[in-house]
Each structure stands twice: as C-alpha cells, then as structure tokens.
C-alpha cells in the first residue's frame, strides 16, 4: 500500500501513477496513447492536439464549478431583490461565514487528490473507498468543532466591525446554513474520489440537475410563497444536498464497483496520519481562499459600509463566477503538466503550459472587455438599488483587472502543482497576500482615505499581481528536462514499492 507521507514531492505521483501505471484501465490507456511525440507535426496541429487533451479535463470541470457556484450567485440575487440589508446579510453569511468554512473543508478534502491517485495507480482500488471514509470522518469531526462559529456569528461579525443590523441578520442566516456546512464535509471528498478515477462527467451532470432544482425552487420560495430571506437560505441547503445525495448514491449503488466495496472498519485506522495530511492541505488552500473574504470584512469597517459591502459583494460574486474557469484550467494544467513530466517529456510539459496560459488569457480578455462595456448593467442581476449600482460601476475597473490577473495566476499554480512545487507556492501565497497585499490595502483604504477602491486596489496590485509575477518568473526559469527526469524517478520509486509490497 502506498505511504501517506507529507513530503511535498510525493504529491505529483498521484496524476503520474494514474496515467502511467494502470494499463488495464481504459481511461488510462487512452491517455497513454495520446502521449506520443508530436514535435514533428505543424504548430497549429500541435496546439489543436494539446487543446483537446487539456479540455478533456477542463470542460467538465468548468461546467461543474460554474453550476455549483451559480447556486450561491442565484441565492444572493434573490436576496438582493428583497432589500439592501437582506442582500448584505446574505452576502456576509455566504461569502464570509460559509466562505471561511468552505476554504478549510475544501482544502482538507484535497488530501484525497494525492492518496486516491496513488491507490488507483497502484491498483489498490479498494483503498479509494477506505480513504473516502477516512476523509468523511475527519471532515465531519471538523464540522462539529467549528459549529460554534455559526451560533456566534453575530457577535463575531460585530467584533469584526460589521454594522449591527447586517451582523444580526447574517447571524440568523448562518444558523440556517448549518445543513450546508455538513453537506460540504460529505460532498467534497466524494468529488475528489470520483475525480481521481476521471469520472468528471458524473459530477457535471449531478451539478446540472442540482442547478435546475435550485432555480425552480428559489423562484417558487421567493416569488410565489414569499418566504423571505430565510426561505432563500433553505433553498440553497436543499439544492446542495441534491449534489451530495446524487454523488453518494452513484458511488454506493454500483457506479464504482472496484473502488467502493462498502463501509469498512479499516477507515478508523491511521486517522492521525490522515488528519495531519488533511490539516496541512486545508491550511495551504485557506491562505488563498480567505484572501478576498478578508476584503469584504475590511470593507464592513468603512463609512456607509452597507452600500460598500453590497457593491463589493456584487463584484466579488461576478469575480467568483468567472474564476471558476481559471480554476478549471488550474486542474487541467496540473494534470497535463504532471502527465507529460511523468512520461519524461519536458518539452511537452512546457508546451502544455504555454497553451493553457494562452487560452486562459484569451478567455480572461473577453471577460475584461465585457465588464468594461457593461459596467453600468451587470449589477442589475443582483439589485435595483441606485446607490449600489453606482458604487458597482465605480468598482468595475478593478473587477476587470482582477479577472485578467486571475486568468494567469491559477494556471501558473496548476503548473506548480503538476511539477511538485507546492511548498514554495504556499510560502509565496503567504508572503504576497498577507505580508504585502493586506497591509497595502489597509494603507490605501484608511491612511490615504481611498475607501473600498483603495483596499481592493492594494490587495490586487500588491498581492495578486506580485504573486503572479513571481510565479511567472519561476515558470520561465524552469528546467523542464530536469523536472521530467525527477518525475520519472518518482514514478519508478513508487512502482518498485508497489511491486515489493
């Protein structure tokens, strides 16, 4: 059985083993067949071949991420039409309280990306089910430990400087989000369990069904039954559990006959090592996920905070919606780079990086233009309040540049994941975001009296932009042939360990 060491270099073995060691698996065989030498082909044909390989992962990932994120956007939009205070309360509850929780649980669940990939590549198929159950145990225990945050959300938000009316209503909404809180703990491990087997289409279809349910239910609850803000929150709970139950039933009812063999007491062994790996993964992802949540909290301390929070929440919602595309490229790039390095093809990894970054930037430019042209209109999705609409229009230029930067940064992070540079990126994120971005945002927002625009500008140009530049330099200076040699040695090492076992 593969070890569960926290050594950062081992994280690249999951996709490498998945694509190179399971010759009996049809998906792995298809991917291997596409890893031939394409250097002699025309450039246009090479780009097309690489694009097809990339979008095999990116396509379903974009759809799944946009569908699930759209459920939050729709919930905020319906809340926005109930009033400014209701919109601010829903934005704080979903973006700050649930956002902090989302980042921690998502990061902890990401430990399965390494462990399930290693077990699948080693043909220890039953271990995927064991790892899945261990992750459920750890994440559900974590949910219980952080449950008081939901009950004490109102005093916490007041302590952070949020207006009393918004903090009180946000606290009530947060309590109603507790079922969603536990839904994350079940759904995130399931998603990674299926992803490690390249069953991305299953996740995409389940998310699509849940999105349709959420649209219909939100319209019924808000527009017809008029159950108000709390009814809106409950629709999100119900719709998210459609995803949870859909993935769960697919897994346990025969969709994964090799990797799910039923519940096992073996899941309760080795929990301490699993906890340490999950916790380290959670902390690393939280550093990045919480960054823009802090922006919303900081804005709540400004004068006329309700309008500022509403306007910023609209922008962050649009940004988060579009960010699902670069995050899908992040996943696809990590897979493609790791795949090529595992095959000993350094040039292929470099070419995959160039194609991925280029295509993501093109998409980013399209959204940049859309925001610049429709800066007066896109906020109408969420609210009809004239002060909020005017504030969003002023912030639109910062939103446009944030979207553009996000079309590069996650893809470079995907390159780092595929190359095994995770520990370096974690330190870069910590330094750029929290030692440069946040202090600069505070300086521009309060010392130079630039308000929300100053806070946001300081955080994107001081944090995100610096991080992107550093990752670009690291990627450009990378010795791809050396990375390919290292990856080949890792695959051999793990193959030998499996044979010895």
Q: For residue 52, which of 324, 347, 322, 359 has the smallest C-alpha distance?
A: 359
pLDDT at 482 over 60: yes
pLDDT at position 454 is 87
pLDDT at 394 over 80: yes
In tens, the pLDDT along 247-270 reads 999 999 988 898 898 888 888 887
pLDDT at position 34 is 41
Burial class (CB in 10 A: 0-12, 13-18, 19+), 431: middle
pLDDT at position 492 is 53
CA angle 285, 147, 318 (to 5 degrees): 45
pLDDT at 244 over 60: yes
Q: For residue 309, which of 93, 82, 69, 75 has the smallest C-alpha distance?
A: 93
For the chain, how many residues are written? 501
CA dist 338 and 352 (Å) reads 10
Q: How many CB atoms lie within 10 A of CB 212?
A: 13
CA angle 343, 344, 349 (to 5 degrees): 85
Q: How many CB atoms lie within 10 A of CB 301?
A: 16
For the chain, what percent of residues have pLDDT higher than 90?
A: 20
- Please say whether the dihedral angle defined by the alpha carbons of residues 173, 141, 126 and 32, taken in this order, is positive or negative: positive
The encoded tokens of residue 150 equal: 């939901």
* One-character DSSP codes across 333-398: HHHHHHHHHHTT-HHHHHHHHHHHHHHHHHHHHHHHHHHHHTTTTGGGGT---HHHHHHHHHHHHH
Higher pLDDT pick, 313 / 292: 313
The encoded tokens of residue 243 equal: 């995803």
pLDDT at 389 over 60: yes
Q: Using DSSP, state whether 88 is helix, strand or coil.
A: helix
* One-character DSSP codes across 368-383: HHHHHHTTTTGGGGT-
CA angle 114, 421, 122 (to 5 degrees): 25
pLDDT at position 230 is 85
Comparing 84-93, 339-348, 463-472, the range with the smallest average pLDDT is 339-348
pLDDT at 402 over 60: yes
The encoded tokens of residue 122 equal: 């080693």
Comparing 184-193, 294-303, 311-320, 486-495, the range with the smallest average pLDDT is 486-495
pLDDT at position 6 is 37
Torsion angle (degrees, nearest 10) of CA 197, 201, 207, 212: -160
CA angle 425, 428, 430 (to 5 degrees): 110
Output the pTM of the full model.
0.72
pLDDT at 160 over 60: yes
- Helix ranges, 407-479 (H): 409-419, 422-429, 438-442, 451-459, 465-476
3-class SS string, 12-74? HHHHHHHHHCCCCCHHHHHHHHCCCCCCCCCHHHHHHHHHHHHHHHHHHHHHHHHHHHHHHHH
Which residues, at least 6 apart from 445, have a Cβ–Cβ distance to it below 8 Å?
298, 302, 451, 452, 454, 455, 458
pLDDT at position 38 is 60
CA dist 316 and 406 (Å) reads 12
Higher pLDDT pick, 257 / 491: 257
Q: For residue 282, which of 147, 411, 184 has the smallest C-alpha distance?
A: 184
Comparing 268-272, 404-408, 414-418, the range with the smallest average pLDDT is 414-418
Q: What's the rounded mean pLDDT across residues 493-498?
A: 44
Q: Could you identify the residue written with the tokens 């939280």?
A: 286
pLDDT at 241 over 60: yes
Q: Which of the given ranges, 30-39, 334-343, 443-452, has the highest pLDDT on average?
A: 443-452
Task: Please say whether the beta carbons of 139 and 105 come within 8 A.
Answer: yes
Higher pLDDT pick, 205 / 78: 205
Higher pLDDT pick, 37 / 174: 174
Task: Please say whether the beta carbons of 407 and 437 come within 8 A.
Answer: no
The encoded tokens of residue 24 equal: 């009996």
Where are the domains positioned within the chain?
14-23+41-500
Average pLDDT, the chain: 79
pLDDT at position 121 is 54
Comparing 17-21, 216-220, 339-343, the range with the smallest average pLDDT is 17-21
Q: Which of the given ranges, 31-35, 235-239, 316-320, 447-451, has the highest pLDDT on average?
A: 235-239
In tens, the pLDDT along 57-116 reads 788 888 888 888 888 888 888 887 787 788 888 888 887 788 778 878 877 887 776 667
For the chain, what percent of residues have pLDDT higher than 70?
A: 80
In tens, the pLDDT along 76-85 reads 888 877 877 8
In tens, the pLDDT along 1-52 reads 333 333 434 333 333 333 333 334 443 443 344 444 566 788 889 999 989 8
Q: What's the rounded mean pLDDT across residues 187-194?
A: 88
In tens, the pLDDT along 111-157 reads 776 667 556 655 677 888 888 999 999 999 999 998 999 999 899 88
pLDDT at position 119 is 63
């Amino acid at each position: 059985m593969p070890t569960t060491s926290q050594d950062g270099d081992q994280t690249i073995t999951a996709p490498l083993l998945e694509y190179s060691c399971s010759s009996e698996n049809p998906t792995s065989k298809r991917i291997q067949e596409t890893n031939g030498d394409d250097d002699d082909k025309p450039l246009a044909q090479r780009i097309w071949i690489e694009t097809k390989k990339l979008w095999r992962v990116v396509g379903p990932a974009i759809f799944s991420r946009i569908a699930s994120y759209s459920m939050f956007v729709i919930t905020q939009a319906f809340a926005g039409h109930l009033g400014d205070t209701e919109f601010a309360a829903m934005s704080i509850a979903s973006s700050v309280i649930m956002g902090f929780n989302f980042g921690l649980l998502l990061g902890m669940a990401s430990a399965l990306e390494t462990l399930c990939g290693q077990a699948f590549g080693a043909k220890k198929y039953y271990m995927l089910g064991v790892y899945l159950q261990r992750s459920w145990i750890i994440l559900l225990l974590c949910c219980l430990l952080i449950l008081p945050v939901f009950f004490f959300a109102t005093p916490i938000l007041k302590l952070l400087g949020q207006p009393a009316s918004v903090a009180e209503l946000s606290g009530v909404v947060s309590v109603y989000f507790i079922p969603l809180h536990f839904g994350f703990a079940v759904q995130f491990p399931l998603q990674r369990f299926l992803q490690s087997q390249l069953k991305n289409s299953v996740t995409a279809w389940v998310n699509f069904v849940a999105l349709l349910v959420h649209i219909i239910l939100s319209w019924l609850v808000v527009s017809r039954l008029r159950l108000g803000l709390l009814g809106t929150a409950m629709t999100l709970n119900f719709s998210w559990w459609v995803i949870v139950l859909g993935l769960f039933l697919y897994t346990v009812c025969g969709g994964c006959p090799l990797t799910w063999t039923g519940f096992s007491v073996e899941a309760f062994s080795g929990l301490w090592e699993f906890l340490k790996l999950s916790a380290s993964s959670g902390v690393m992802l939280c550093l990045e996920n919480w960054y823009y949540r802090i922006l919303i909290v900081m804005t709540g301390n400004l004068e006329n905070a309700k309008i500022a929070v509403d306007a910023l929440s609209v922008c962050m919602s649009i940004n988060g919606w579009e960010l699902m595309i670069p995050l899908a490229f992040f996943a696809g790039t990590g897979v493609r780079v790791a795949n090529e390095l595992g095959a000993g093809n350094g040039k292929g990894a470099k070419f995959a990086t160039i194609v991925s970054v280029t295509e993501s930037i093109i998409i980013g430019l399209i959204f940049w233009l859309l925001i610049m042209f429709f800066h007066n209109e896109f906020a109408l999705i969420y609210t009809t309040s004239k002060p909020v609409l005017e504030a969003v229009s002023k912030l639109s230029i910062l939103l446009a540049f944030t979207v553009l930067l996000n079309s590069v940064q996650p893809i470079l992070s995907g390159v780092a994941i595929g190359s095994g540079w995770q520990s370096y990126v974690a330190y870069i994120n910590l330094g750029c975001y929290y030692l440069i971005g946040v202090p600069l945002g505070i300086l521009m927002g309060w010392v130079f009296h630039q308000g929300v625009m100053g806070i946001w500008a300081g955080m994107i140009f001081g944090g995100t932009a610096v991080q992107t530049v550093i990752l670009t330099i690291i990627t450009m200076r990378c010795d791809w042939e050396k990375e390919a040699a290292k990856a080949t040695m890792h695959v051999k090492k793990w193959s030998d360990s499996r044979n010895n076992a």
